[in-house]
Amino acid sequence: MDSCLFCKIIQRAIPADIVYEDNATLAFKDIRPQAPHHYLIIPKAHLKSLNDISADNRAGVAQLLEVAARVASEQGIAETGYRCVVNNGRHAGQEVDHLHLHLLAGRPLTWPPG
């Protein structure tokens, strides 16, 4: 997807502070962190949202959670705790139409979200 911001980050056309990469997944720091630790974990395949999950790509989507746990461990936040969030669609506040898992940590996080 030529016009997609996160596809451009995958292609290194836009810089990002990358913390993890494998063949199917990329994780990088959010440019406007909402907590001391705030990472975005994305599939390299362009899926717009969770609505695009299918038998063809579900392994890559499941891998987002596995990578979240790995990044949490590497960043030293696995034991204190972290939150994984997907904003899916307009009412959830999704701004970037490339599926991404937010990984937030580093302070007590309130519940419920707004």
In the complex, which residues of this chain contact ligand 5GP (CB under 6 A)?
A: 5, 14, 16, 28-32, 40, 87, 93-96
User: Using CB atoms within 10 A of its CB, is residue 82 exposed (0-12), middle (13-18) or buried (19+)?
Assistant: buried
Q: Please indicate whether residue 100 is annotated as part of the active site.
A: yes
Neighbours of 8 (CB within 10 A): 16
Residue 1 contacts Zn ion per CB under 5 A: yes
Residue 100 contacts Zn ion per CB under 5 A: no
Residue 4 contacts Zn ion per CB under 5 A: yes
Cis preceding-peptide flag for 112 (omega within 30 of 0):
yes
Binder of residue 98, out of Zn ion, ligand 5GP, none (CB less than 5 to 8 A by kind): Zn ion
Beta bridge partners of 21: 26
Inter-residue long-range contacts of 9-16, CB under 8 Å, 24+ positions, other chains counted = 9/42, 10/42, 10/44
Min dist. Cβ of residue 86 to ligand 5GP (A) = 7
Q: Which residue has the tokens 């063809």?
A: 56
Q: Which of 44, 46, 48, 85 binds Zn ion (CB under 5 A)?
A: 46
Binder of residue 46, out of ligand 5GP, Zn ion, none (CB less than 5 to 8 A by kind): Zn ion
Q: Which of 37, 70, 98, 100 binds Zn ion (CB under 5 A)?
A: 98
Residue positions annotated with a catalytic role:
100
